[in-house]
Every structure is written in C-alpha cells, then in structure tokens.
Amino acid sequence: MRRKHTDRKKERGLTLVEVLVAFFLLFVVTLAVLQLLTMAYLVNLGSLIRTDLSYRAERVVETIRLQKFRVNNGASDDACCPVAPDAGLTITPASCQTFWGPTGANVIEPDARYQLSYNIHDNTVTVKGEPLKTGGSQYLGPATFKVVVYVAQLR
C-alpha cells in the first residue's frame, strides 16, 4: 500500500530549534544537579572535620583524666599535660609529640591540619579544636571555619 502524498505532509519531525531547546533544558538541569552534589560534598567534608575534632577533643579529656589520676596518686605533673587548677595548654603538631603524638596519647599527628587547646577551671576541662589557619597542611574551603568546643567534668 502506498501512502498518498498529502498524508506525508502531515507528518512532522523535530526541528533544529526544538532539539536545541531540549538540549538547553537538559544542560540547565544537569548544572543544577552538579551544584547540589558539590554542596553535599562540602557539607559532608565539614561534618567529617567536626566529627574528627570532637573525637580528638574527647581523647584529650580522657588523657587529662588519666593524668590527673596519676598526679593524685603521687606522680609528678607532666609539662606536656599540666592538670593543676587553672592549667591550660595548646597542642599543636610541633608541641610535645612524644606525649600527644602517635607514640603517646595518639591525639595529634606530626602533619596534623588542626590544633587542640584545653583549659582546666573549677574541675571542668574545656577543649577547643580548630583547623590550622597557616602552614602547608590546611583544610580547604569552608571547613577552615569549623571549631569544636568540648566541655567535660573532671572527677
């Protein structure tokens, strides 16, 4: 069976303009999805840093509790972990590696991207963890503004 020539005129394909509009819409939707993925990555990176700093701050508190127990039982106060009332210390990758580093309390690595500090006041220890702002080893992006403050009671 042959079609009539008049029937063929009613059939239409896609024009170049319609194809270009469809590609443009697909491009806009793809860009939006990529932007969402980028934002999700940055949020997850910030959460990872905050979780890591919280965990390390908790380890500092537990080390201080152990050191305070040792001092109360006759051991001398360590210069790298003073536990006297109103004592405090800033723990950086360059400070007291034998005590706080991988061979000691394992709280901070030599190439750490963060620093920890603590203060003891009224039998309460406050540990602050924050990313380094200078140096070769830094977090990138908005993660550099994440700060963790961990407060615990000493007994």
Query: Which tokens sit at 41?
Result: 């990555």
Residue type (1 letter), 8: R
Q: Is residue 1 part of a domain?
A: no
Q: Is residue 37 part of a domain?
A: yes
Q: Is residue 9 part of a domain?
A: no
Half-sphere exposure of 71 toward its Cβ, with a 13 Å CA cutoff? 16
Q: Is residue 102 part of a domain?
A: yes
Q: Which residues pair with 78 in a beta bridge?
A: 81
Percent with pLDDT over 90 in the chain: 35
Whether the Cβ atoms of residue 131 and residue 152 lie closer than 8 Å to each other: no
Q: Domain of residue 108: give its range.
A: 15-153
pLDDT at residue number 139: 73
Whether the Cβ atoms of residue 111 and residue 93 lie closer than 8 Å to each other: yes
The total number of structural domains that make up the chain: 1
Residue found under tokens 């042959």 = 2
Q: Is residue 144 part of a domain?
A: yes
5-60: pLDDT as tens digits: 656 566 667 788 888 999 999 999 999 999 999 989 888 888 888 898 999 999 99
pLDDT at residue number 8: 57
